[in-house]
């Protein structure tokens, strides 16, 4: 009985401390680290340099360069082999360089705001658009926000699935995204997502 009373006393002392830690955020779990499955790595090409970062695109994907990019934007994309109906999977990677005046704007470009803006451009040509709950994780030390989505493309009236990853690295905004038509997306998106999960900073 005495041992039980001691245990209850210890718990009564520790409980307020635990509550205080939770309230202050100190007990919050660190976001998970996202990595590509080792078995999928053999399906990826060698490293491609994008600004101050690198990425391994899927093998047999064709690189596509945007015709024009505004100052401060570095972008590259890859597309899978076209199918008989002309559809294909795609992956895009973009790095936006903010001006030095934005150095202190920590609340202006939150990950949630960046994801909302990027998803807004996707919604414009989609109906019945649905988003999954945003998830936070790290890729090679950088914190990303990930959102998966699905919707019907207005032009083709076909259902599509995709996802976006956004991060901020100092004055650089990082946007990584991929999409494909269903049901082929079930096979292609795990591959393009593995590619995105190889994203990392270049070694000095």
The CATH architecture annotation of domain 31-201 reads: 3-Layer(aba) Sandwich (3.40)
pLDDT of residue 3: 46
Q: Mind spelling out the 3-state secondary structure of 130-165? A: EECCCEEEEECCEEEEEEEEEEEECCCCEEEEEEEE
The SS3 call for residue 48 is strand
pLDDT at position 91 over 90? yes
Q: What is the pLDDT of residues 152-172, one digit of tens each?
A: 999 999 999 999 999 999 999
On whether the pTM is more than 0.85, the answer is no
Kindly give, in sequence order, each residue whose CB lies less than 8 Å from that of residue 59, ignoring residues fewer than 6 positions away: 43, 44, 45
pLDDT tens digits for range 121-132: 999 999 999 999
Residue 43: CA count within 13 A, CB half-sphere: 18
- When pLDDT is cut at 50, 70 and 90, the band that residue 89 belongs to is very high
């Amino acid at each position: 009985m005495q041992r039980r009373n001691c245990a209850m006393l210890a718990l009564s002392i520790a409980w307020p401390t635990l509550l205080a830690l939770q309230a202050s955020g100190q007990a919050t779990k660190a976001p998970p680290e996202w990595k590509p499955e080792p078995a999928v790595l053999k399906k990826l090409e060698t490293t491609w340099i994008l600004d101050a970062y690198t990425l391994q695109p899927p093998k047999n994907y064709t690189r596509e360069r945007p015709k024009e990019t505004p100052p401060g934007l570095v972008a590259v994309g890859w597309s899978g082999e076209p199918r008989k109906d002309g559809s294909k999977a795609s992956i895009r990677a973009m790095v936006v360089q903010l001006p030095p005046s934005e150095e202190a704007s920590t609340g202006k470009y939150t990950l949630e705001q960046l994801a909302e803006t990027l998803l807004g451009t996707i919604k414009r040509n989609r109906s019945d658009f649905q988003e999954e709950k945003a998830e936070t994780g790290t890729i090679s030390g950088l914190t990303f926000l990930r959102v998966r989505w699905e919707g019907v493309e207005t032009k083709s009236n076909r259902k599509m699935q995709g996802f976006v990853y956004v991060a901020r690295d100092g004055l650089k905004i990082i946007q990584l995204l991929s999409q494909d038509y269903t049901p082929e997306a079930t096979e292609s998106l795990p591959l393009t997502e593995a590619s995105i999960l190889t994203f990392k900073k270049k070694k000095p």
